[in-house]
Amino acid sequence: MSSILGAEYCSFTMRKFLIDTDTASDDAVAMCMALRHPDIEVVAFTVVAGNVPLDQAVQNALYTVELCGETTPVYVGADRPMLRDLTTAMEVHGDDGMGDQGLDLQGRTPAEGWAPQVIIDTIRAHPGEITLVPIGPLTNVAIASLMAPDIAEKVERVVIMGGTGEHGPGNVSPSAEFNFFVDPEAVRVVLRSGMPLELVGWDVSTSSAVVTAERRAEILALDTDIAKFSIAIQATLGSFAWDETRLAGPDFPDPIAMAHAIDPSPATSEFLGVDIAIGPDPMRGTMIVDHFGFGQIAKNATIVGHYPEDAFFDMLLDLLST
């Protein structure tokens, strides 16, 4: 395992991350990774409804920040998709989104401010410096983009966990990944925003970020509070993976997207034209990648096709070890 302080992760200046989350079990692990990285300043967390309803997602984010010993502000955002009723994933992540482990996930107070406006103000205040990492439905980001189109040229990177870029299938329908399924209209707004987009799909997670029994043992052997937390909250996700998606353990789509945000150098990727199917079902939320140019979709996003498993887990173990 490489050192967290090694040259492959660190630079001479702190990088600024703004993370948009619908906080449930894998989101929380991704948040811990960013908060624990010595090269990253997480300037804010903005929260959107998705995996769980908004109020629960906010409380889960506040709990995770507190567990990490940090005071990063958490801001409340959209409580539903732009044009649809909310679809949650509580059957995947538990009624509380955190594996139903009896954690104290109530009573904390978020910061004053509305998430889309926070996204706008933060990017404008730090032009060319913000890495925006949306790991939930794209509602907050889409609203911010519509309110302030100028942020597209001011944000440094936008690393999105969403879609299935190379291999499929979907995890909520035959071809759609959950985040893109929940608010496909928001996805289309973001895809057409002109932002510098990097998409890490669920297919990358299933190929490189499955927490098998061996990987679980490696994480628990770290014997830190954050490592034990990161495994405990996957209880219902692990059951879902075994029964429904037929994986050898819970997979970590948000953490592997965060790994790519932190260090994209191990990734295999390609700049391609991308669109989204709005509907009707069963195509709703399906990511359309114009690999060969047949659709004449203007190139608008970098698609991560592969992130090496060992590179991901080496980073994860480093970041959960303190």
pLDDT tens digits, one per residue of 254-271: 999 999 999 999 999 999
Q: Is the pLDDT of residue 64 over 90?
A: yes
Expressed as residue numbers, the domain containing 49 is: 15-320
pLDDT at residue number 221: 98
Buried b / exposed e across 286-307, counting CB within 10 Å, b at 16+? Answer: bbebbeeeeeebeebbbbbbbb
pLDDT for 280? 81
Give the DSSP per-residue string, 178-194: HHHHH-HHHHHHHHTS-
Q: Report d(CA 222, CA 264) in Å as an integer.
A: 25
**198 exposure class (CB count in 10 Å sphere: 0-12, 13-18, 19+):** buried
Six token digits for residue 278: 């709005």
The answer to whether residue 7 sits within a structural domain is no
Question: Do the beta carbons of residue 170 and residue 209 sit within 8 Å?
Answer: no
> How far is residue 287's CA from residue 194's CA, in Å, rounded to a whole number?
17
Tell me if 4 is assigned to some domain: no
9 within domain boundaries: no
As a whole-number percent, the residues of the chain with pLDDT over 70 amount to 95
Question: Where residue 94 sits, what CATH number does that domain have?
Answer: 3.90.245.10
**DSSP label of 150:** G
Does pLDDT of 40 surpass 80? yes
Give the torsion through C-alpha atoms of 87, 100, 104, 205, to 10 deg.
-60
Catalytic residue among 20, 22, 27, 183: 22
pLDDT, tens digit, 9 for 90 and up, residues 126-136: 999 999 999 99
- Average the pLDDT over 285-305 and give the result: 95
In a domain, 3, yes or no: no
Q: Are 166 and 201 in contact (CB under 8 A)?
A: yes
What is the model's pLDDT at position 239? Answer: 87
Radius of gyration of the chain (CA): 18
Is residue 76 within 8 Å of 115, Cβ to Cβ? Answer: yes
pLDDT of amino acid 225: 97
54 domain-assigned: yes
How far the first Cα of the chain sits from its last, in Å, is 14
Does an H or E element contain 93, and which?
helix 90-93
Question: Model confidence over 125-178: pLDDT tens digits?
Answer: 999 999 999 999 999 999 999 999 999 999 999 999 999 976 678 899 889 999
Report the number of distinct structural domains present in the chain.
1
Residue 1 placed within a domain: no
Assign 281 a pLDDT band (cuts: 50, 70, 90): confident
8 within some domain: no
- Residue 43: CA count within 13 A, CB half-sphere: 19
Catalytic status, residue 22: yes
Residue 10 lies in a domain: no
